[in-house]
A and B are shown apart, each in its own frame.
Chain A
Amino acid sequence: MADVILKPTGNFDLTVEAEVITPDNFAGKSADEIGKLLVWQGPEELPLANFFSVEGNGGNSAEDTTIIIDGDVSRVKRIGQEMTAGKILVKGSVGMHTGSTMSGGEIVVEGDSESWAGMDMTGGSIHIKGNAKDHIGSAYRGSWEGMTGGRITIDGDAVSQIGGGLSGGEIIIGGSVKHFCGIRINGGLIYVKGNAFRTVGAEMTGGTIVIGGCIERFLPGFTMEGVESDLKFNDIECPGEYKKFTGDYAIPQKGKGTMYVSCDNNECL
């Protein structure tokens, strides 16, 4: 295994588009060569070394390459985009589109994540230890078919449109979410341990949503099917009692999705 350590040193007043930061691109390159990879900042294409000090060479292959970003890169977008293997460890927060369209490997972020992490991803895993913003694990704007595989774990809260158009894979949110969680999902699993504000599972046509907390404003297009307890989806366990709903009946593809809502936290339902 080879570690490449990137330390932010540059000026990030304008965000940097850094889709080159993947184990796939770093593999087989020396620290020097990695520093010469180009990234866009506004209208300029500049070498990575203008923004990071690079220490260590890439491994022989993507699998053998671990990238450690030692600092805050919340103004750096697209880290790990399209990666297929290997590992990226970020010791701070990340910008938008982290790990979007990735198909394998692992990304661990110790801080927070901006929006669009894991967009359209097909495999691999993303673990955000802090909070995340909107569109996590979601489909590209306008697309109704999003993430098809892999796993996203957010330890903290996320905001809106989590898992929009989800077709497969799992998204686990340790905290709470706001609006349109699981809008138009047609497969896969979204498990929110905390609360959701409103419009959970709007226009869902498949897949499963589990809400461990309270849904403040529940959608009218769902009907209750019964009560189940201690749910288990492969290795994902959802302890407690849940009311099971099917929906969304407000659209032509009626009631093909499943939603579980905590009994304890949603007495009024």
Chain B
Amino acid sequence: MAGTIAIKNGYVYDPLNDINGEMMDIFIKDGKVVTELSGADMKDVKEIDAKGKTVMPGGVDSHSHVAGAKVNGGRMMRPEDHYKFYQKKTPITHSGCGYTVPSVYLGGYEYSKMGYTTVFEAAVPPMEARHTHEEMRSTPMLDMGGYLVLGNNWFLMRYLKEGDIDKAAAYIAWMMKTHKTYGIKCVNPAGVENWGWGENIGALDQANIHFETTPEDMIKGLTELNEKLGIPMPVHLHANNLGHPGCWEITRDSLKIPKNVKAKPNMDVEWAETKKNAKRHESVYLTHCQFNAFGGTSWRDFESGVKGITDYVNSNDHVVFDSGCVPFGDATVMTGDGPAIHDLYVLTGHKWSNTDVECECGSGVLPFLYLKGNPVHSVQWAMGLESLLYVKDAWKTIMTTDSPNGGPFIKYPQVIAWLMSNKARQDTFAECHKWAQDRTGLGAETREMDLFEIATITRANPARTIGMSYRKGTLGIGADGDVAIYDIDPKSLEVNDYESIIRAFENAAYTIKAGEVVSQMGEIVAIPEKNTFYSDIATDEDAEKSMLADVKKWFKYYTLGFDRYPTPEKYLANPTPIQVKAEK
């Protein structure tokens, strides 16, 4: 029976239900978690003996660059990334290649092998939404969605400047529907617009050219609008000044702006049973903390500024962040932050690309190699881990590498090993530049995360943060039957033997999606159906009408016709709109 399965005797980690390594059975029927299976169901059900193994909800990546124009730009400019890392086709899988920027097929398979079942694309420029959806549609194994880049959008900057909140709200609602996207991404607010004039923005109260909007206006405006509209996830913020020594301060100050914005996600969905409150209460979701937490004043006195941010996060409850860890080795830096990429080009002299996405945002791509011998890179390695270890409450953090910016997602098992094993960290300290020891506090940090915390930062919390925990990131009754089973026996786990942790997380013993085994010990065994989520926000019709009149008038500044702008549903695999009820 498809989508029906019994997972017996595993050690289960379901943080949203406070289940911490209890030995229990998980039953899935027709793709959903159920209390039990009837005698008739049990007769021909597939049964997995998970005795001595770790059972978690399927992995959820809430921030990864996996589809769209800049990812493809990375693929095109990096043939050298592809020729040594490839996989042959099998009777059910496509061939594929690419280490940091894999082909869509390979990307899907690699995620699935690690036990991931849900991945959200971190940045969708509105004009590139069609391209992004085409790639997401072709990415197998994963349920997906994408965040719409709105932090430098001409219409929004204008509406916020004029204080026309109703039109701004109508615009965001219309854009989400038009481009079939899920939440708001805000990249270098007000700064990327300046990059069109060769400038950037250095302070939260600095107004940008022509629009005279400040980063503060954008962060405040967008976070308020986000809650007015009831969007499932908080505003996803990539702060200003990213990648510059000393940027941690502007990041912390940015996080202060939405402190009093009350989270009001309001989706019309059925919630899986969870003991913990599965709804988010945060008004801002900071991305790749590490890149936003540089200390010092120059590359000479560069140091970690992570503590400044984690102190703030520890004492405030409206912030959640993902880490953006740096696991060393090859990476491809890609972001909507055009000026940040230019700075990296000047620093490295490497090949790069930069794009002005007309009227909307920007983007840049640059290949990067993180070396253990490099002082700055070594500090960045330590900083990513600091960010996760310094925050006491794992429900405020999410583990990512900002793939492929800090490193490709296939390095997640390595990052998990560093978080779980102090010995793994100390062994790496011995191999990397002494700045990692001298200019960060990681060397003195002895915390070792347990499997419950790892399950929190790799599935439960990413799902909860982006408002997907009604069906993802938990094994509560009614949740999607997405499960990862790892060959780790918690009773005999020895964290000093961190290589075994890496091996276990690299290839899940079983990855189960909607009750079907899709990958087994590194081999893809079935190609499941996939869903694409987007926010369908109800809005005020009058505001939408007058807003659309503005948009049509300004569309003369676009190089494409208004009718060609939207992404029709046919570009999505199983389009799954989430009804969002905006405040009246």
Interfacial residues, chain A to chain B (CB-CB below 8 A): 139-144, 203, 205, 251-253
Contacts and interface: CB of A to CB of B under 8 A. Distances in A.
A142 B349 contact: no
Contacts, number: 23
A142 B346 CA distance: 19
B77 interface: yes
A142 B350 contact: no
A60 B347 CA distance: 51
Contacts of A140: 79-80, 83
A22 B47 CA distance: 50
Interface residues of B, number: 13
A205 B81 contact: no
A253 B77 contact: no
Nearest to B369: A145
* A-B pairs, 7 with minimum CB distance: A143-B80, A142-B79, A142-B80, A252-B349, A141-B79, A253-B349, A252-B346
Contacts of B81: 142
Contacts of A144: 350-351
Contacts of B347: 252
A120 to B, nearest CB: 10
Interface string B348-380: 111100000000000000000000000000000
A211 to B, nearest CB: 24
B80 A252 contact: no
Nearest to B348: A252
B349 A205 contact: yes
A246 to B, nearest CB: 16
A141 B83 CA distance: 9
Nearest to B350: A144
16 contacts: A140-B79, A140-B83, A141-B80, A142-B77, A142-B78, A142-B79, A142-B81, A143-B80, A144-B350, A144-B351, A203-B349, A251-B349, A252-B346, A252-B348, A252-B349, A253-B349
Given A203-B349, A252-B347, 16 more contacts: A139-B80, A140-B79, A141-B79, A142-B77, A142-B78, A142-B79, A142-B80, A142-B81, A144-B350, A144-B351, A205-B349, A251-B349, A252-B345, A252-B346, A252-B348, A252-B349
A253 B348 CA distance: 8
Interface of B: 77-81, 83, 345-351
B101 to A, nearest CB: 11
Contacts of B77: 142
Contacts of B345: 252
A251 B351 CA distance: 11
A252 B79 CA distance: 23
Contacts of B348: 252
Nearest to A140: B80
A193 to B, nearest CB: 30
Contacts of A143: 80
Contacts of A205: 349
Contacts of B346: 252
A56 B85 CA distance: 36
A203 B348 CA distance: 13
A98 B218 CA distance: 58
Contacts of A252: 345-349
Nearest to B83: A140
A139, A144, A253: most-surrounded residue (chain B CB, <10 A): A144
A226 B218 CA distance: 56
B77, B346, B349: most-surrounded residue (chain A CB, <10 A): B349
A142 B80 CA distance: 5
A140 B81 CA distance: 10
A203 B347 CA distance: 15
A139 to B, nearest CB: 8
A15 to B, nearest CB: 18
A203 B78 CA distance: 18
A2 to B, nearest CB: 32
A141 B84 CA distance: 12
A141, A142, A251, A253: most-surrounded residue (chain B CB, <10 A): A142
A180 to B, nearest CB: 15
A250 B19 CA distance: 60
B103 to A, nearest CB: 15
Contacts of B80: 139-143
A213 to B, nearest CB: 29
Nearest to A139: B80
A173 B166 CA distance: 71
A140 B77 CA distance: 13
A11 B351 CA distance: 42
Contacts of B78: 142
A161 to B, nearest CB: 14
A140 B348 CA distance: 20
A167 to B, nearest CB: 13
Nearest to B84: A140
A205 B348 CA distance: 11
Contacts of B350: 144
A1 to B, nearest CB: 34
A143 B347 CA distance: 18
